[in-house]
Amino acid sequence: MKIFFKVVLILVAIAIWTWATIIEPYFIIDYDYVKMSSPNWSKNLNGLKVAIVTDIHYAGGAIENWRIDNIIKKTNDAKPDIIVLLGDYVQAGSRRNINLDFLSNRLKRLSAPLGVYAIFGNHDSYFARNLVRDMLAKADIVVLENSNAKVSTPNGDFYLSAIADMTTQNHFYTLAFKNIPQNAPTLFLSHTPDGFKDSPDSAKITFSGHTHGGQIKLPYIGAIFVNLKYDKIGEGKFERDGKVLYVSRGLGTSRVPVRLLCSPTITIATISKE
């Protein structure tokens, strides 16, 4: 009986290892649907669908190339009105294998009527932020960094506002919201959820990534590690002082290349007025 139980434990361990290192990180992409509302949002813009794609952590190689193709297809299949990319496009420790031309070519295939916008994450700086910036430019993606952009639609205008990555760059809320009219409908982007703590009142809706949802979640315990300074929110919705934050668990891995009960996810947010 002792041999039987040992064999069972070994088989279970192999199954968990296979799932966490191969199947879940590479062969599963879920949609995470969320409804967000703001008193500053325009009723004319109700129902705006935003795809949040974050923490791709592309490392290069054949299986990674296949994963990127799958991410692009799943994002476009959701038919969002606008796509926002929240940083960490590359895995900083995999410099030798990364093909930025391939990544640029694939990101250029993202399609949404109102365009594709991007911010930087910490791994982009660890890798080489200027190279990542060039990669995004070749993909015709608008980059926001301590800046904002007005997005015009047939039903009215709204703004995207973003600070630079808090971990690796100087970030300035004043620049991120410069020239945005008071109470204008605005979506605020910060790679790390820590940007929510001191965001201005005009940042009624914030989207972030960075946490990967913890990557490893245990039943009844949840995420075993969340890499944040302030609010330890690994994923999901968080409200404070009339503002709301949504943290997407994202698509890639870092540090430990595993995902367990924390599948790669594209967040689809529908925005409306309260």
Strand order in the sheet with 205-208: 147-153, 156-162, 186-189, 205-208, 243-247, 236-240
- Say what the pLDDT of residue 231 is: 63
Q: Using 50, 70 and 90 to split pLDDT, how confident is the model at 3?
A: confident
pLDDT tens per residue across span 91-148: 988 777 899 999 999 999 999 999 999 999 999 999 999 999 999 999 999 999 999 9
Asked if 191 and 120 touch (Cβ cutoff 8 Å), the reply is yes
- What are the b/e assignments for 140-175, b being 16+ CB within 10 Å? ebebbbbbbeebeeeeeebbbbbbbbbbbbebebeb
142: Cβ contacts below 8 Å, ≥ 6 apart? 115, 116, 117, 118, 149
C-alpha distances (whole Å) from 184 to each of 111, 156, 161, 162, 190 are 26, 11, 11, 15, 18
Instruction: Provide the CB-side half-sphere exposure for 27 (13 A, CA).
Output: 7
- Say what the pLDDT of residue 66 is: 96
Asked if 208 and 193 touch (Cβ cutoff 8 Å), the reply is yes
pLDDT tens per residue across span 227-269: 766 566 788 999 988 999 999 999 999 888 999 999 999 999 9
- Say what the pLDDT of residue 93 is: 80
Burial of 206 (0-12, 13-18, 19+ CB in 10 A): buried
Q: Using 50, 70 and 90 to split pLDDT, how confident is the model at 219?
A: confident
Whether the pLDDT of residue 49 is over 90: the answer is yes
What are the tokens at 221? 């315990």
- Tell me the mean pLDDT in the region 52-74: 96
Q: What whole-number distance in Å separates Cα of residue 140 and Cα of residue 242? A: 35
Whether the pLDDT of residue 151 is over 70: the answer is yes
In this prediction the pTM is 0.95
DSSP string computed for 170-190 = ---HHHHTTTPPTT--EEEE-
Burial of 130 (0-12, 13-18, 19+ CB in 10 A): exposed
Instruction: Provide the CB-side half-sphere exposure for 61 (13 A, CA).
Output: 11
Lowest model confidence (mean pLDDT) among 5-9, 71-75, 126-130, 260-264: 5-9
Cα 14 off chain centre by: 30
Asked if 272 and 37 touch (Cβ cutoff 8 Å), the reply is yes
Whether the pLDDT of residue 14 is over 80: the answer is yes
- Say what the pLDDT of residue 38 is: 94
- Tell me the mean pLDDT in the region 18-30: 95
Tell me the one-letter amino acid at 127.
F
- Tell me the mean pLDDT in the region 193-222: 90
Its sign, for the CA torsion 34, 35, 39, 41, is: positive
C-alpha distances (whole Å) from 106 to each of 75, 123, 138 are 12, 19, 11
3-state secondary structure of 218: strand
- Say what the pLDDT of residue 62 is: 94
Q: What whole-number distance in Å separates Cα of residue 169 and Cα of residue 89? A: 16
